[in-house]
Amino acid sequence: MARVRPVLNCLTLLALAVLLVPVAVERARAESALPTIYVQYAMNCTFTITDDAGKAVSSIAPGYYQVVVATPIPFAAEGPSTNGFTACKGSVQFQLTGPGVSLYTTLDDGDGAFYQFTATFKAGSTYTAQDNNQPSVARGVFSTTATGSPSTSSLPAGSGGSSASKPPASHDSAGSAVVPLRGNLAATIDAAGRLALTSKGKPVGTLKAGMYTFTVVDKSAKSGFSVQKLARGVKSIAIPLTGVGYKGTHLATLNLKAGRWAFFSPGGKKTYFIVVA
The pLDDT profile of the chain, 277 residues, written as one tens digit per residue, is 444 444 444 444 444 444 444 544 544 444 445 788 999 999 999 999 998 888 999 999 999 888 989 888 888 887 665 567 899 988 999 999 999 888 888 888 888 888 888 888 999 999 999 999 999 999 999 999 998 777 644 333 333 333 333 333 333 333 333 567 788 899 999 999 999 999 989 999 999 998 888 888 999 989 999 999 988 776 677 888 888 888 888 877 788 889 999 999 988 999 999 999 8
List the alpha helices (DSSP H) in the chain.
Answer: 4-31
User: Is 187 within 8 Å of 225 (Cβ atoms)?
Assistant: yes
pTM (whole model) above 0.75: no
Non-local (6+) Cβ contacts of 233 within 8 A are none
d(CA 277, CA 275) in angstroms, rounded, equals 7
